[in-house]
Amino acid sequence: MLKQILVLAGILLILPGCAVVQIAAVKATSSVLGEASAEIETETDWELFKNGLPGDLKLMEALLYEDPENSTLLSTLAKGYAGYAYGFYETMHLKEKYSEADLTPYRTQASAAYARAIKYGFRYLTGRGVDVGALSAGNKKISAILDAQLSTSNKYDIEAVFYTGQSWMSLINLNRDQPKLLGQMPRVKGLFDWVCKAKPDYQHGACDIFYGAWESSRPRALGGNPKKGKAIFLKAIKKYPHNLMIRSYFVEQYIIPSFDETSWKEQKRYLTKALRAQKTKVYIPGQEKVNVKGVMPNAQLFSAIALKRFQTVLRYEKDIF
């Protein structure tokens, strides 16, 4: 479905005609694209995601070139680059990280993709009347600034703020050697607070992931509380047992830094079973598609990414623990 829409979008761009007609075509196509973008979340094949999404993103950027203020495209691109940065570049960076490689090209690429997601997110917010420069204010003021211009009932407002925040936090985590970036963490929390107050169950536990990582990844000297972070992750796992992304973040953000081998063994057992189920699933023509046991059917891409990251942790298990 999404591929067909993108092909149609490409045809619209190369058809001759007046600018007004082209802009109208782009707006109509982008509206459908925005609705259809959720289709990628049902993808079960990490390799297909890795190879397929870049072309989609570039074609959306071509559409945006024709209509630079298109809010649907800006939000979708912020989400798309955030997802690709985490799902591919940062996932590949885990090998660099755990092997302590001297060269880290995937880290560089992940940072660049996150920066691009933030750029599109800021363009979206600016177009909606948000003073992006004022986001440097305290958390409470950030919520007030967003409330004044955005609506929590608008899915694109929520999407743009959430994925801008996710990209911003990930960019900081990848570049902790830059004090200027570390100082921006409270601004990121302000974005998440705005989304998560209105949509606490957003993306099947994404808010719990952020707050668990927020507490776990910061040292106590900077206000972190790993024990509290662990409690948030465990509560989220109980609420969303089949969201493998929560378990993946729990492993990477709390278990590994804390050297919690007991928790590692528990999550390793669960994720190993999910990985085995993923490898042995069989689809038979004429039968209804069978979902992998232990994987949320409407968040299969998240699970595919989580399992890919888990495989890397397994590879370096002896070095880590």
Tens place of pLDDT per residue across the chain (321 aa): 455 454 445 544 544 554 544 555 555 555 555 565 667 778 888 999 999 899 889 988 988 998 899 999 999 999 999 999 999 999 999 999 999 999 999 999 999 999 999 999 999 999 999 999 888 777 779 999 999 999 999 999 999 999 999 999 999 999 988 888 888 888 999 999 999 999 999 998 999 999 999 999 887 877 889 999 999 999 999 999 989 999 999 999 999 999 999 999 999 999 999 999 877 655 556 555 545 455 555 678 999 999 999 999 999 999 998
pLDDT, residue 37, reads 62
Query: Domain for residue 267, yes or no?
Result: yes
Whether residue 104 sits in one domain with residue 195: yes
Using alpha carbons, select from 141, 140, 88 the residue that is nearest to residue 113. 88
DSSP labels, 79-105: HHHHHHIIIIIIHHHHHHHHTT-S--H
Cα separation of 9 and 38, whole Å?
Answer: 17
pLDDT, residue 182, reads 83
Residues 6+ positions from 37 with CB-CB distance below 8 Å: 2, 76, 79, 80
Query: Domain for residue 285, yes or no?
Result: no
Using alpha carbons, select from 83, 91, 90 the residue that is nearest to residue 108. 90
pLDDT, residue 91, reads 98
Whether residue 246 sits in one domain with residue 154: no
Q: 19 is in which domain, residue-wise?
A: 1-68
Whether residue 247 sits in one domain with residue 170: no
Cα separation of 226 and 218, whole Å?
Answer: 8
Count of domains forming the chain: 3
Whether residue 79 sits in one domain with residue 26: no
Whether residue 63 sits in one domain with residue 44: yes
Cα separation of 197 and 206, whole Å?
Answer: 12
Look up residue 287 and give its two tokens.
């039968």
